[in-house]
Chains A and B, each alone.
Chain A
Amino acid sequence: MPERNHDFGKFGARGIRGSDLVARQLDALAGFIATSVTTRRGLLARLNYLTTSPTAWKAARAAGLRVTDRTLKAWLAGTQKPSKANLERIEGAYRTVRRHNVARHLLKRLNSGGGTRVEIHPLNQSQVPRPYQRTLEYRRINVRRWEGMVTAWAAGDSRALDDAWTTGVLPDLGSQWGQYEYVTNIGFAA
């Protein structure tokens, strides 16, 4: 199995695409507001974050939250509640703006000190018939340059992130890198 998988899970292997897990871990490191947007507290926290400065509000509008100032004022005052579609837009805009704001700082931390050590935990093959099971080991790798991944993650571009991870980082694992395209977990700290 040298390179990319064509039909992952055909024999019952279970795993998640590595780049998705990288995005998930970066999200965890970015630290979003824990309270759900459906509660008043969570909604207010997000709206306050998006309206701290004209730049932030502009970024929120660019991220798809196109409402008038009057509506925003009504939401903040509590006289009006956002519709379900608008709640999703608020959440999406909040995440985009937050990722964008955190990216620079996060990138600095990930690149500092000669890069960051990444743990790669192999896919789960407990449901694969015995003859098809392969020996898969836990691997770890030091990633020195995070620019591509962090930029793609901040822009919400999952395809570019996948490209940066799968073609930029994984081949450093050696000829077996295709076995780690889908994994159970990817761990790193920043």
Chain B
Amino acid sequence: MSDFDAIDSLLASLTPQPALPEAQVRRGLRERAALSKAQVARTLGVSPATVTGWETGRDPSGELRTKYAYLLDGLAAKLAPSSPPPTDEATAPQPAQDESTTFPAPGPTAGDDMDDVEALAAPEPCVLCGQPARHHVAGFPQHLDPAQCATTAPAPDTPAQRSEGRTAKPVKAVPAGRRVRAASDAEPSGPIAVAVAEALEAHEGDVEAATAALVKKAIPDAMALLDATRIGGRYDVIAHPWMPDILKKQSAHGADQIWEARPKWTRAELPPGEHQVTALDINGAYLSALKTHLPIGQLEHSAGGVGHDRRRAGVHLITPSHWDREDVLPNPLGQRDEPGPLWVTEPTLRLLLRLSGPKHGLCEPPEIHESYTSGATEGLLEKFRIVLKDARDTAIAAGDEVTLEYVKAMYSKFVSTMGTSNYNRQLYRPDWMHLIRSQAFANLWMKALKAHEAGLTVVRAMGTDELHVIGDWRRVFGEGRGVTEVKVKDVYTAGSAHVAGGEG
């Protein structure tokens, strides 16, 4: 008989395998709930790679499968209001049952795998929300429907309201960083969305007034965001270091001695014939330029041919080599009138060193005489930049001009006032200001080089974000509003037939 007992217990342990949704649905559920793979993996006690496997077609088995199915069911129920539910009958007869309290709830919400549900004679407080619940689940009084659990007052829940919220229509998606999530999940989260929502509320939906108010407080908000993004960071933002004289303004309205290498170049001779020139605009140039090697601490002086240290960044006194490609490409040093040594920033020096390297071989390496540098990292403003970029992408996808203007004011004013500005005394880093600007110019220069190497004719490189080219630029640059894309500012014809005339 003992053999049969063993067989019986073995058979009893063979519970029916809970059904799992399709692989894409699993991923969709997790992403709509804004859960990362790591979070899910940690909860289930597996590695994130395993979760990836489950979301691409593999199936878990045994106890893990039960747990995973439970998680997915829970997610599906939580996200139900924003996605088509199985039926409306599941919820509509609920109030009627609550009055009768004689039989356990039928209907799909009870679930195939929830056999341990019992109806209660008298309502008891739900273990999750504290409101009276009429069912026992695995021995604990709980609401069967998580939606009911979430609401504070489940009793006056009219069927009309609920079915309204549960109409079967596609969910609007918005990009969140690299991923996509439902627009309903993109409710105010993070300081930017909260600030925008508050401003809109304060001005009762007056978009212009709200934008003006937001732009006005963009600098303190950017500084608060910077502080928030540095929590847990490896390095402190050092806001008031000693500055060498070259970084000090000579007079109240004068400039310091740093050359930012701003491009201002127009091709001297166009190829013969008439051409269509496209003026391209680089999106969010300063936002992208926040990713640059920034000196962390106080700048230290070094002189006498010590060369360039890749782990440090700062400003350098260099004698640039001669640039002999002025006819096809702008000088990476910008439009400079006087010869001789000059103080340049780290991005300019790195650009020159890169161009003089074996890959490009476009010029001789510059001669470095003196440097003021400090240990550098590219990650100092990286979180800050990503928060702003994500907010910008979301705003563009949602057509949200208020957030767009606000984000633009935040990063542009942050860069322009991080030096010695009276509008932002929290940060006194003229060195960072110069480095970030130079990085924007260097980025534009590299785009000009990319166009040139792809066979386009570069006609003009101006300021931070303007590039004029002749040729099919769409195979070189993507068109759009993202930071990696370009947009068309102007299209005009130039050449021997007509002299540059704008046409829109």
- Closest Cβ of chain B to A42, distance in Å, is 12
Q: Which of A29, A31, A119, A184 contacts B239 (CB 8 A)?
A: A119
| Inter-subunit contact A138/B240 (CB<8 Å) | no
- B297 contacts the other chain (CB 8 A): yes
Q: Which of A34, A138, A184, A189 contacts B425 (CB 8 A)?
A: A189
Cβ contacts under 8 Å, A185 to chain B: 240-242, 298
Cβ contacts under 8 Å, A59 to chain B: none
| Inter-subunit contact A29/B298 (CB<8 Å) | no
Interface residues of A in 115-156 (CB under 8 A from B): 119, 121, 138, 140
- A188 contacts the other chain (CB 8 A): yes
In the complex, which residue of chain A has the Cβ closest to the Cβ of B236?
A140
Interface residues of A in 172-190 (CB under 8 A from B): 184-190
Cβ contacts under 8 Å, B422 to chain A: 31
Interface string of B240-263 (1 = CB under 8 A from A): 111000000000100000000000
Cβ contacts under 8 Å, B240 to chain A: 119, 185-189
Cβ contacts under 8 Å, B242 to chain A: 121, 184-185
| Inter-subunit contact A187/B298 (CB<8 Å) | no
| Inter-subunit contact A34/B252 (CB<8 Å) | yes
**CA of A189 to CA of B223, assembled, Å:** 12
- Closest Cβ of chain A to B300, distance in Å, is 8
Q: Which of A31, A121, A140, A188 contacts B298 (CB 8 A)?
A: A121
Cβ contacts under 8 Å, A34 to chain B: 252
Interface string of B209-242 (1 = CB under 8 A from A): 0000000000000000000000000001011111
- B428 contacts the other chain (CB 8 A): yes
- B426 contacts the other chain (CB 8 A): yes
Known: A29-B425, A34-B252. A187 touches B297 (CB 8 A): no
Interface residues of B in 385-409 (CB under 8 A from A): none
| Inter-subunit contact A187/B428 (CB<8 Å) | yes
| Inter-subunit contact B238/A190 (CB<8 Å) | no
**CA of A119 to CA of B298, assembled, Å:** 11
Known: A189-B426, A190-B425. A138 touches B238 (CB 8 A): yes
In the complex, which residue of chain A has the Cβ closest to the Cβ of B428?
A187
**CA of A186 to CA of B298, assembled, Å:** 12
- Closest Cβ of chain A to B425, distance in Å, is 4
| Inter-subunit contact B298/A138 (CB<8 Å) | yes
Interface residues of A in 13-36 (CB under 8 A from B): 29, 31, 34
- Closest Cβ of chain A to B374, distance in Å, is 11
**CA of A119 to CA of B428, assembled, Å:** 12
**CA of A82 to CA of B217, assembled, Å:** 45
- Closest Cβ of chain A to B37, distance in Å, is 37
In the complex, which residue of chain A has the Cβ closest to the Cβ of B426?
A189
| Inter-subunit contact B238/A119 (CB<8 Å) | yes
Q: Which of A121, A188, A189, A190 contacts B241 (CB 8 A)?
A: A121
Known: A138-B297, A138-B298. A187 touches B241 (CB 8 A): yes
| Inter-subunit contact B298/A184 (CB<8 Å) | yes
In the complex, which residue of chain B has the Cβ closest to the Cβ of A28?
B425
**CA of A188 to CA of B240, assembled, Å:** 7
**CA of A11 to CA of B428, assembled, Å:** 31
Cβ contacts under 8 Å, B241 to chain A: 119, 121, 185, 187
**CA of A31 to CA of B425, assembled, Å:** 12
In the complex, which residue of chain B has the Cβ closest to the Cβ of A109?
B425
**CA of A29 to CA of B238, assembled, Å:** 18
Q: Which of B239, B297, B298 contacts A189 (CB 8 A)?
A: B239
- Closest Cβ of chain B to A133, distance in Å, is 14
- Closest Cβ of chain A to B150, distance in Å, is 36
**CA of A190 to CA of B424, assembled, Å:** 10
Cβ contacts under 8 Å, A138 to chain B: 236, 238, 297-298
In the complex, which residue of chain A has the Cβ closest to the Cβ of B251?
A34
- Closest Cβ of chain A to B149, distance in Å, is 39
Cβ contacts under 8 Å, B238 to chain A: 119, 138
**CA of A188 to CA of B297, assembled, Å:** 15
**CA of A31 to CA of B297, assembled, Å:** 26
**CA of A85 to CA of B241, assembled, Å:** 36
Cβ contacts under 8 Å, A31 to chain B: 422
Interface string of A32-72 (1 = CB under 8 A from B): 00100000000000000000000000000000000000000
**CA of A138 to CA of B235, assembled, Å:** 12
Cβ contacts under 8 Å, B298 to chain A: 121, 138, 184-185
- Closest Cβ of chain B to A65, distance in Å, is 25
Cβ contacts under 8 Å, B426 to chain A: 189
**CA of A70 to CA of B403, assembled, Å:** 60
**CA of A186 to CA of B241, assembled, Å:** 8
Residue numbers of B with Cβ under 8 A of A are 236, 238-242, 252, 297-298, 422, 425-426, 428
Task: Kindly list the 8 A-B residue pairs having the minimum CB-CB distance in the complex, ordered from nearest.
Answer: A187-B240, A185-B242, A189-B425, A34-B252, A184-B242, A189-B426, A119-B240, A121-B298
Residue numbers of A with Cβ under 8 A of B are 29, 31, 34, 119, 121, 138, 140, 184-190
Of the A-B pairs whose beta carbons lie under 8 Å apart in the complex, a sample of 23, sorted by A's number, is A34-B252, A119-B238, A119-B240, A119-B241, A121-B241, A121-B298, A138-B236, A138-B238, A138-B297, A138-B298, A140-B236, A184-B298, A185-B241, A185-B298, A186-B240, A187-B239, A187-B240, A187-B241, A188-B240, A189-B239, A189-B425, A189-B426, A190-B425
Known pairs A119-B240, A185-B240 / 15 extra A-B pairs, C-beta < 8 Å: A29-B425, A31-B422, A34-B252, A121-B242, A121-B298, A138-B236, A138-B298, A140-B236, A184-B242, A185-B298, A186-B240, A187-B428, A188-B240, A189-B425, A189-B426
